[in-house]
């Protein structure tokens, strides 16, 4: 089934906004060293700043999720884009750690609008929900992949401040486009595009799997915040180009781009498969594979390190459209904004604390230890995925039994 024009435009705008969200998010890790030299702070202090940003990012999701069920999604996304642009300008002008923290807090609030609103929006307008999430997720991963190298080029050639100011421009343009978009996302439907799902207005029958999905989101949030904060610096320091004279910020951005381009492929594959395969099994597979991938990031160096980071990115980002589709499966349409708000509140707010905790680990044990701890989180996530698969098998067995009767 071909996309309707409004569906195509809505998903394109949401995908672009997702790219800008993650470009701004990962920019901090790329210019970490430059900010430390300019402002004069330690890795631990920079981890705390990332925590402030991540906490604001996550805390915003909860009230915004309520608004997503009651207000125009496209207006909220317009405010999200304009807010990101304003925050990027504030960060670019900040002269000290306090001002920088204020800018990142504002950025976190603006970015916190995106995920609950955009995911509820896509779940309501997409004719194929898995593919819709795949497109929007791919936009986010393109931001993760291409944002670092763009930021690295600007920061190494000019300054990290100009890099943030440059990112403000497309945010403002997109915000104005969203405000002009006719919102159709408030027409609610309980269609689930062929997947067994919540067909009443009650969450009670699906509370068990929803709790597991939220817990997995928290664990993935802990991994994600640690990786995006410290991976660029780690790659820049440990992947050797044999004496080629390239600025360390540029190296960090380039290597991170290479690694996260594999995440683009993983994100799209996850969205494609979750319309065709068991979503619960896909979650178990992808979380299980991230354990050895993070172990390799921790344990190897040189070109193998870059390969391990790419391997991790592929499977880590493969889970994201699957989680979003599972929440759509288990949540009545009238609750989706709020449920996405709860999910991203837990994943982003709790996950934000890994920036401070892993900043301490990096300061006391070295950057490599960050990825060992993330591997432990991934192992716990794998174990937590098993009950989700068991529940899905029991649901399928009950469905077969009812059909036989």
Nearest residue to 236 (alpha-carbon basis) of 257, 226, 251, 254: 251
C-alpha angle 303-308-314 in degrees, rounded to nearest 5: 130
The answer, yes or no, to whether residue 187 has pLDDT greater than 50, is: no
The answer, yes or no, to whether residue 382 has pLDDT greater than 60, is: yes
- Structural domains of the chain, ranges and CATH numbers in brackets: 5-182+202-404 (1.20.1250.20)
Please give the residue that has the higher pLDDT: either 227 or 1.
227
Strands (E), 177-320: none
Neighbouring CB atoms inside 10 A of 394's CB total: 10
What's the length of the chain? 405
Whether this prediction's pTM lies above 0.95 is answered by no
C-alpha angle 39-44-48 in degrees, rounded to nearest 5: 85
Q: Tell me: the pLDDT tens digits for 86-135?
A: 999 988 887 777 888 788 889 988 988 888 888 878 877 766 777 777 78
Which residues, including other chains, have CB under 8 Å from residue 158's CB and lie 6 or more apart?
A: none
Average pLDDT for the chain? 78
The answer, yes or no, to whether residue 50 has pLDDT greater than 80, is: no
Where b means 16+ CB within 10 Å and e means fewer, 270-279 reads bbebbbeebb
Q: How confident is the model at residue 176 (pLDDT cuts 50, 70, 90)?
A: very high
Cα 195 to Cα 278: distance, rounded to the nearest angstrom: 9
Written as six digits, the tokens of 374 are: 């993330």
Cα 115 to Cα 58: distance, rounded to the nearest angstrom: 10
Please give the residue that has the higher pLDDT: either 93 or 348.
93
Q: Tell me: the pLDDT tens digits for 249-294?
A: 666 666 667 777 787 788 778 877 877 778 888 888 888 998 998 8
pLDDT of residue 174: 93
pLDDT of residue 38: 73
Q: How confident is the model at residue 383 (pLDDT cuts 50, 70, 90)?
A: very high
Q: Look-up: residue for tokens 């027409």?
A: 187
Q: How confident is the model at residue 190 (pLDDT cuts 50, 70, 90)?
A: very low
Cα 342 to Cα 363: distance, rounded to the nearest angstrom: 32
The answer, yes or no, to whether residue 196 has pLDDT greater than 50, is: no
Using CA atoms in the order 20, 1, 74, 162, what is the torsion angle rounded to 10 degrees?
10
Cα 360 to Cα 46: distance, rounded to the nearest angstrom: 10
Using CA atoms in the order 191, 194, 200, 202, what is the torsion angle rounded to 10 degrees?
-110
76-85, 177-186, 325-334, 343-352: which has the minimum mean pLDDT? 177-186
Residue pair 261/167 in contact by the 8 Å Cβ criterion? no
**Distance from the first to the final alpha carbon of the chain:** 33
Neighbouring CB atoms inside 10 A of 242's CB total: 4
pLDDT of residue 247: 56
The answer, yes or no, to whether residue 141 has pLDDT greater than 90, is: no
pLDDT of residue 248: 57
pLDDT more than 90, % of the chain? 10
Q: Tell me: the pLDDT tens digits for 145-162?
A: 777 778 878 887 788 889
The answer, yes or no, to whether residue 245 has pLDDT greater than 60, is: no
Please give the residue that has the higher pLDDT: either 240 or 18.
18
Residue pair 144/266 in contact by the 8 Å Cβ criterion? no
């Amino acid at each position: 089934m071909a996309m309707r024009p409004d569906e195509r435009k809505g998903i394109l705008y949401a995908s672009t906004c997702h790219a800008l969200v993650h470009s701004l998010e990962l920019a901090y890790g790329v210019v970490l060293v430059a900010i430390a030299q300019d402002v004069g702070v330690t890795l631990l202090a920079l981890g705390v700043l990332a925590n402030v940003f991540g906490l604001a990012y996550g805390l915003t999701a909860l009230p915004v999720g309520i608004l997503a069920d009651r207000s125009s999604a496209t207006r909220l996304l317009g405010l999200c884009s304009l807010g990101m642009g304003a925050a990027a300008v504030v960060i670019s002008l900040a002269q000290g750690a306090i001002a920088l923290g204020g800018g990142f807090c504002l950025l976190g609030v603006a970015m916190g609008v995106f995920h609950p609103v955009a995911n509820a929006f896509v779940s309501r307008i997409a004719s194929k929900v898995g593919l819709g999430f795949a497109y929007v997720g791919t936009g986010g991963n393109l931001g993760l992949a291409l944002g670092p190298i763009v930021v690295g080029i600007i920061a190494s050639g000019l300054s990290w401040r100009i890099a943030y100011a440059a990112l403000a421009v497309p945010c403002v343009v997109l915000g104005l486009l969203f405000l002009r978009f006719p919102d159709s996302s408030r027409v609610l439907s309980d269609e689930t595009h062929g997947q067994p799902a919540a067909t009443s207005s009650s969450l009670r029958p699906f509370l068990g799997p929803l709790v597991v999905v939220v817990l997995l989101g928290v664990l993935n949030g802990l991994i994600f915040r640690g990786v995006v904060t410290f991976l660029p610096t780690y790659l820049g320091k440990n992947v050797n180009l044999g004496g080629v004279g390239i600025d360390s910020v540029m190296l960090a951005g380039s290597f991170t781009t290479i690694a996260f381009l594999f995440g683009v492929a993983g994100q799209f594959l996850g969205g494609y498969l979750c319309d065709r395969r068991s979503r619960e099994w896909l979650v178990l597979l992808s979380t299980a594979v991230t354990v050895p991938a993070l172990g390799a990031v921790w344990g190897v160096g040189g070109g193998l390190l870059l390969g391990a980071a790419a391997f991790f990115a592929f499977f880590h980002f493969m889970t994201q459209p699957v989680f979003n589709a599972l929440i759509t499966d288990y949540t009545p349409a009238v609750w989706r904004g709020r449920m996405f708000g709860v999910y991203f509140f837990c994943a982003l707010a709790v996950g934000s604390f890994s920036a401070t905790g892993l900043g301490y680990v990096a300061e006391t044990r070295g950057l490599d230890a960050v990825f060992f701890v993330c591997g432990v989180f991934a192992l716990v996530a794998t174990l937590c995925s098993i009950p989700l698969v068991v529940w899905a098998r029991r649901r399928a067995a009950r469905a077969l039994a009812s059909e036989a009767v």
